Amino acid sequence: MANKGQVTKALQAVGACWAVRTDKFCGADDPLEDQMAGRKTYHVHPDASYPHQDHILRFASLRAIMEWVGEVKAARKAHALQ
């Protein structure tokens, strides 16, 4: 299982970063259903060079973030081979 330090490094490796903070939380810009249910998620900016609030990705677990990072790396590798 990945810890937050490993996830932070993995995010940096693909040019992403944490949005606002590194713990799970429910923010004012989260979907209304999540706010009403009190669902907390990890928030990530997929492009650290342009961390815009409308581009935040939400993940239920650190494992889900690591899976997303793996998918980003695989997509970039596949694109580079074309």
Number of domains, the chain: 1
| Domain extent for 72 | 4-81
Q: What is the pLDDT of residue 65?
A: 98
d(CA 65, CA 19): 13
pLDDT per 10-residue tile (average), the chain, 82 residues? 92 96 94 94 96 93 98 93 78
Q: What is the pLDDT of residue 2?
A: 83
Q: Which two tokens stand for residue 7?
A: 């996830």
Q: What is the pLDDT of residue 57?
A: 96
Whose CA is closest to 48, among 80, 17, 8?
Answer: 17
State the angle between helix axes of 62-81 and 4-13 in degrees (0 to 180), rounded to the nearest 10.
Answer: 20
